[in-house]
Structure 1
Amino acid sequence: MTEQQRRPTLMDVAGAAGVSRALVSIVMRGAPGASESTRQKVLETARELGYRPDSRAKLLRSSRTKLLGLSFSSSQPFHTELVDAAYAEASAKGYEIALSAVANGRPETRVIEALLDFGSEALILIAPTLSNQDLSRYAREVPVVSLLRDDVGDSLDSISSDDHAGIRLAVDHLASLGHRRIVHVDGGTAVSSEQRRAAFRTEMLRHGLEPLTLPGGPHEEDGMRVGQLLQANMPSAVVAFNDRCALGIIESFRAAGIDIPSDVSVLGYDDSQFARLSYVQLSSVSQDAPLLAAAAVDRAVDRIEGNQQPARIVRTPHLVLRKTTASPSGVQATTRPAGKAELPS
């Protein structure tokens, strides 16, 4: 089919009118949420392009699809664990899951538009990065549940893990082992990085310890880069933003002949499948992926069937101890933190 033969879509109208696909949908459905000037602009653009509503899509929307749209990042293994758990919970509720992945060359807006075009009755977005304003536009069309991110405004539901509680567990554990020189490698611009960074500072100060945070990221390469920097001025323990970052740090240390946990303890976050591998055995803060995913699905279904108001649900993580954390050499573990210790400059 040539470009001239292709039937204009909502996205075509949105691009020509300079507005979002969600706003075009609002106008075409005659729903509230668009100013009169915007409405006229969209309708005029649609006429110029020869846009006609797809009767098949309209028929699909008029009936129940029992479909939940789920977006995730293809580069984050922890997201796939959430997807697996969401499938199980959706099936138990009598719903199906439509997947759409954020990947290189495939931005989040395109992912969401695809899920809406599938006829999704609600959206579950794992760690969305769009602005609250953009997210609220989609929430005017269907219920939207943000999973892992809670600062999404009042028009969306959010299901998240208590990042401060998770970091508190990590710092308390390492301090109880006798660690005083603890470094946090953050997640850069990743969702939850800012919250965990702030929590680390608060919890270290609570123990009378100097907080030191280094810029990292959510991938193994980020951990390897920071791990190489740390070798010039080794801490006794590292709290990584997530398990992937922790794995990169561990790989960097082991390549340099640094033993874990005898020379340095490393603690991850997420308790992902990587952490549980027999040759890794990474101590990690667990966000309980099955419980988070189930809560997100339950909330989406409740919004579809009960038309309830958006809610914010925060779950408490727990610590899973394996083989990458131990007391520093020559230090006996204690249940009480010692006094303030100086980090090397």
Structure 2
Amino acid sequence: MSGTGGRVTIATVAREAGRSISTVSAALNGAPGVSGATRAEILRVAAELGYEADPRARLLRAAHTGIVGVSCIAGQAFQVQLVDGLYRAAREHGHGLSLTAATEHHGEVEGVRGLVRDRCEGIVVVDSRIPYEDLASASAGLPLVVMCRPSPAPGVEAVRSDDRAGMTALVEHVLGTGRRDLVHLDGAGASCTQLRSEAFRAAMEARGLPGRVVPGGQDEEAGVRAVSVLAGRGSMPQALLCYNDHAALGALLELRRRGLRVPQDVAVAGYDDIPVAGVSAVDLTTVRQDVEVLTDTALQRLAERLPCATGRRSRAGGDRPAREDGAPLGAVGAVEHTVAPHLVVRGSTA
């Protein structure tokens, strides 16, 4: 015997045990007012029927859910790494995690509103592409932490890698190989495009070299398109530094398709160090973002602002703390926590 849709409910257990729903509910939830013998009988019947408590119902009854909402954008391997890190960090901090992903048919605003309806108590937004006003409205006043972008408004905490340091290290490495004609493929509308492009120009200008930046994007097609444009103009550089690894992979494949050797003819570098970057056939020089520290910092900052805050601190990240500072690209009065990235040198820039 089962309840609606074949699921065993409290009403199912009550009918089988010959007890009222209120008595069964009290027994199953460990509430007072039920004798030991009656509780044992109800628990036995529930076990025989295969009853399992509905976690959604418990959340509706709870004063605080302890659930952290996470909004991300589907399609980027680095974001998958961040989401996995946020699951780990949430567990470390004693919180559950509810995830929404923005896709072609499911926007960021819709996803964040869904997290609010699901009674999340705070929200982490990864690499948001929407105006802050829309994000703030959708989050309905819940504590908010943004990742992978400068802080968009006063009082909004942001956690991101130190992109200036990462891009500067990458430029210095490639210049150190003797190459002087470098081009940066930007991230188009990506959240950290301006940071990385400005860092590239600054690092090149510090050496008295032009900092050439060309339009790009965040996917493989952006890399293919950039190489095609540069080849068509006859302005192929000695090295192409891409906004991320996806674009770098597309550039590398298109260069090979055109008969150009990597790195002998054109060196290629990316950013993020996604898993495919280390595959021997790719062997991509890149900048690794410290996922563990980024995600632990984001959860720590959010957890301290939740109504159910316990003050628990995770040990994840060890001796690699985030640095708190104000970034010029962030809003006045904003607080940003930046994490040092790490240069990973491989064969694509040898």
Per the TM superposition, whether the score is higher than 0.5 is yes
Q: Deviations over 1:219-275 (max 9, x none)?
A: 100110111222332211111000000001001001111111111111101111221
Matched residue type, 1:86:
L
Q: Does 1:260 align with 2:284?
A: no
Closer, same or farther: CA 271–61 of 1 in aligned 2, 3 Å:
farther
1:127 Cα shift? Answer: 0.9
Q: Does 1:60 align with 2:60?
A: yes
1:217 Cα shift? Answer: 0.4
Of residues 108-117 and 294-303 in structure 1, the stretch that sits farther from structure 2 once superposed is: 294-303
Q: 5 Å matches for 1:50-199?
A: 60=60, 63-138=63-138, 141-199=141-199
CA distance in 1, matches of 2:209, 2:73: 36
CA distance in 2, matches of 1:58, 1:228: 56
Match of 2:24 in 1: none
Closer, same or farther: CA 71–186 of 1 in aligned 2, 3 Å:
same
Closer, same or farther: CA 233–315 of 1 in aligned 2, 3 Å:
same
CA distance in 2, matches of 1:58, 1:130: 33
1:197 Cα shift? Answer: 1.1
1:169 Cα shift? Answer: 0.7
1:62 Cα shift? Answer: 5.4
CA distance in 2, matches of 1:98, 1:74: 15
In percent, how many aligned pairs have the same letter? 34
Q: Does 1:319 align with 2:343?
A: yes
Closer, same or farther: CA 138–109 of 1 in aligned 2, 3 Å:
closer
Find the residue that maps to 1:257 and give its secondary structure. coil
CA distance in 1, matches of 2:170, 2:200: 9
CA distance in 2, matches of 1:147, 1:61: 31
1:291 Cα shift? Answer: 1.6
1:105 Cα shift? Answer: 1.7
CA distance in 1, matches of 2:70, 2:81: 13
CA distance in 2, matches of 1:108, 1:317: 27
Find the residue that maps to 1:270 and give its secondary structure. coil
CA distance in 1, matches of 2:338, 2:119: 29
CA distance in 1, matches of 2:163, 2:57: 41
Match of 1:239 in 2: 241
1:137 Cα shift? Answer: 3.5
CA distance in 2, matches of 1:59, 1:87: 19
Q: Does the CA contact (< 8 Å) of 1:139 and 1:155 recur in 2?
A: no
Over the aligned positions, Cα root-mean-square deviation in angstroms equals 2.2
Q: Does the CA contact (< 8 Å) of 2:71 and 2:111 recur in 1?
A: yes
Closer, same or farther: CA 96–176 of 1 in aligned 2, 3 Å:
same
How high is the TM-score relative to the length of structure 1? 0.74
Q: Does the CA contact (< 8 Å) of 1:138 and 1:144 recur in 2?
A: no
1:198 Cα shift? Answer: 1.4
Find the residue that maps to 1:101 and give its secondary structure. strand
Q: Does the CA contact (< 8 Å) of 1:139 and 1:156 recur in 2?
A: no
| Unpaired stretches in structure 2, ≥5 consecutive residues | 1-55, 312-332
Matched residue type, 1:72:
C
Considering only CA atoms, is the larger Rg found in Structure 1 or Structure 2? 2
Find the residue that maps to 1:269 and give its secondary structure. coil
1:301 Cα shift? Answer: 1.0
Q: Does the CA contact (< 8 Å) of 1:158 and 1:312 recur in 2?
A: yes
Q: Does the CA contact (< 8 Å) of 2:144 and 2:156 recur in 1?
A: yes
CA distance in 2, matches of 1:61, 1:187: 45
Matched residue type, 1:233:
S
CA distance in 2, matches of 1:147, 1:235: 32
Q: 5 Å matches for 1:4-15?
A: none
Q: Does the CA contact (< 8 Å) of 2:113 and 2:138 recur in 1?
A: no
Q: Deviations over 1:282-339 (max 9, x none)?
A: 110111122211211111111115599984211121101111112xxxxxxxxxxxxx
CA distance in 1, matches of 2:190, 2:344: 23
Find the residue that maps to 1:91 and give its secondary structure. helix
